[in-house]
Structure 1
Amino acid sequence: MNKKQLLKYIKNDLNSVEKRKTIEWVRKSPENQKVYNVLKAEYIASTFKDVPNVNSDFFFQRFKNSIKKRKLDKFSYIAVSIAIITILIFNFKEVISLNNIIPQESTQISQAAPNGHFSFITNRGDKKEVYLPDGSKIVLNADSELTYPKEFNDSIREVTLIGEAFFDIKRDENKPFIVNTNSIKIRVLGTSFNVKSYAKDTKVETTLVTGKVELIKDEETPIVLAPSQKAVFHKKENKLEIEEVKSLDVVAWKDGTLIFNKTPLREVAIDLERKYNIEININSLKLLNYEYTGTFDNLSIYEVLKLLTISSPIKYTIEGKEIFLEP
């Protein structure tokens, strides 16, 4: 595998066949994985070569905060950049350890369900596109299950979701589209929206991207969402809240990007576990509630952990197949 091909993969410039071949080569041996890790680190580091002109929200703003907002001059910025490059490229001890917890490729399972329905399942570390009988497109996130009929023959189009999915629904005024979760129903005619409803999570989130949706709970009056609004249903409190969000940030996971905005670290860890098929333990009540802001843009778990330590008061250790986060 040549460097040019690997760089194209890192930049997401390959077709699906080329991506598959590249992934197979990287996973073939620890040596190949190390070559990939170093090249990816070099590429990321190269994006900071014009450090004074970089939007510093993620790296340097947080670095400035960590030294009590002391203003940095140009040479200090360069020093920070060099430190980041050094950490990303030369810390091979962590690379070797993390090679032992690199998630294996998971599979998507489509199987028969009761009453002539199909159930589509994704494992942790996976996501998949699903096309429904009416032509609607659904992107199913990791560790999720979507159940739907072979054909939409009734007066409604009804599916059931456990987990997270992005829906792009074909408009049909004669057949409303219903998404059943374990707490609420979402009713639409034709629109795009995101639903996050994992069984173990404490809340259900519905984010509207385009169009209009209605949230239905028991016999209560439906609540209508407008674009860029997110409805958060807190299961324990049986309470529904509406908030304004950047909808494209919420659905960035479809393209491999995780964006967090003052998100409790306990929730960040859960999303990372699902995306990378790993186990994360946080042995600190203070860290569990620590609010993290940052973006992981198609990074490996090695790079994610490094950025966490650079941008937050967090350190990590690896024991076997588990990652431990500590203050």
Structure 2
Amino acid sequence: MVVIDMTDINPDVLQRYAAGNCTAEERQLVEDWLENDDPLPESHTQYDTSLKREIWTGLTDKELKTRSNFGIRTYITIISAAAILVLLSLVFFFNTNSTQNLMQEELQQQTYIAPAGKTATMKLSDGTIVQLAGGSKFSYPAHFSGQTRTVTLISGEAFFKVKHDKKLPFIVQSSETQIKVLGTRFNLSNIAGRAKLAVTLTEGRISFKGKGEQETILKPGQQLIFNKKLNKIQSVTEVDTLYATGWTAGLLWFNQTPVTEILEKLDASYGVTFELKGHPDLNIHLTGKFRQQPLSRILKLIENSSDLRFDQQPDKKIIIYKAN
């Protein structure tokens, strides 16, 4: 790949790229630069590679074996009857306790928070794979019971590869909404503090239902946007699914995305926190595609495309301010 120095690129080209208005040649020029090594020092920022954590859950059945041997002939009828009664009582007692313990273990909810700046991959007891973006909070049972497999994305973003089981529908709950599937793959984004929830289907079929709403069926390649404040579906559109799921492969893709949302993605991907100094304008929209790029390169592109400036601190805190 051709090495392109940042100083060789006209700032106007970067601005047009970030605004989504550049030509195909200009886009290729910028993305070639993005693919090369970062020429800037990064003494305070370190990119964390993906963490894949396997969480296996299971239960061990317990078997009760009771043996009784009575060899007394005298009063055999009474003793046998009493022994049978005691045996049945013991079996009932232990079976009841065993069932109760099993139900308690099955219903026990586990809550997992993905480490900041890392993705976490989980394998649930039914074989379903869940990939969580950094900082996401996820709740699931130790073992599925009943007639459904129900989990909860409390906040953050997750990609689900649901194990097919037509007898036990898989249900994902999030902010009083419900996604019901049998076996499929889809992305769910429910960032804390954001008014909108997004569901993107890549394979199979799912039904989405908000509180008090009818079910909406999604087909592969469709994205549903749900307004949590208004409790209503805002839109269902055809999308490039890679735009929504690229984060699972280390790709950050912004398409006229508000800076506020970009900062949320950077927070989850790099484990940093942003702090405002003064009143910088975060309502601008930017475009860019980054595959496992150093954070400083992304920040540099934003700086060259706006009047925002970033000051990286040793404790992974980044100060945002407006250029003089």
Structure 2-normalised TM-score?
0.68
1:245 to 236, 239, 247: 239
CA contact (8 A) 1:234 1:240 kept: yes
1:243-282 pair list within 5 angstroms: 243-282=237-276
- Relative contact order: is structure 1 or structure 2 higher (C-alpha 8 Å, sep ≥ 6)? 2
CA RMSD of aligned residues (A): 4.0
Q: Which residue of 2 aligns with 1:194?
A: 187
1:287 positional shift: 2.8
Q: Which amino acid aligns with 2:152?
A: T
List structure 1 runs of 4+ shifted beyond 4 angstroms.
46-51, 63-66, 83-88, 101-114, 282-286
Q: Distance in 1 between matches of 2:140 and 2:185?
A: 18
Output the amino acid matched with 2:308. Answer: I
- After superposition, the C-alpha distances for 1:58-107 in whole angstroms (9 at most, x for unaligned) are x98435579xx999x99xx99x99x9999942x44xx33x24x7779999
1:143-154 equivalences under 5 Å are 143-154=135-146
- Give the C-alpha shift of residue 173 in structure 1: 1.4
Whole-angstrom CA distance in 2 between matches of 1:160 and 1:70: 41
The structural deviation recorded for 1:117 is 2.8
Q: Which residue of structure 2 lines up, in the alignment, with residue 20 of structure 1?
A: none
Matches for 1:83-122 after TM superposition, within 5 Å: 88-89=38-39, 91-92=40-41, 95-96=42-43, 98-99=44-45, 115-122=107-114
Distance in 2 separating the partners of 1:123 and 1:148: 17
After TM superposition, the score normalised by the length of structure 1 is: 0.68
CA distance in 1, matches of 2:264, 2:242: 20
* 1:176 maps onto 2:128 in alignment: no
Structure 1 unaligned residues grouped into runs of 5+: 1-45
The 1-side partners of 2:179 and 2:35 are apart by: 46
Q: Does 1:325 align with 2:295?
A: no
Q: Among all aligned residue pairs of Structure 1 and Structure 2, give the percentage whose two residues are the same amino acid.
A: 28
| Cα pair distance change 1:293/1:102, threshold 3 Å | closer
Q: Structure 2: where are the runs of 5+ without partners?
A: 58-104
SS of 1:287 mapped into structure 2: coil
Match of residue 218 from structure 1: 211
Shift of 1:156: 0.9
Alpha-carbon separation, structure 2, partners of 1:70 and 1:268: 20
Q: For this pair of structures, how many residues does the alignment match?
A: 265
Q: Is 2:289 the counterpart of 1:290?
A: no
Please identify the structure whose Cα radius of gyration is greater.
2
User: Corresponding residue for 2:200?
Assistant: 207
The structure carrying a bigger helix percent of its residues is 1
Following superposition, the deviation at residue 121 of structure 1 comes to 2.2
| Residue identity opposite 1:309 in structure 2 | E
| CA 1:85–1:323: 2 relative to 1, 3 Å | same
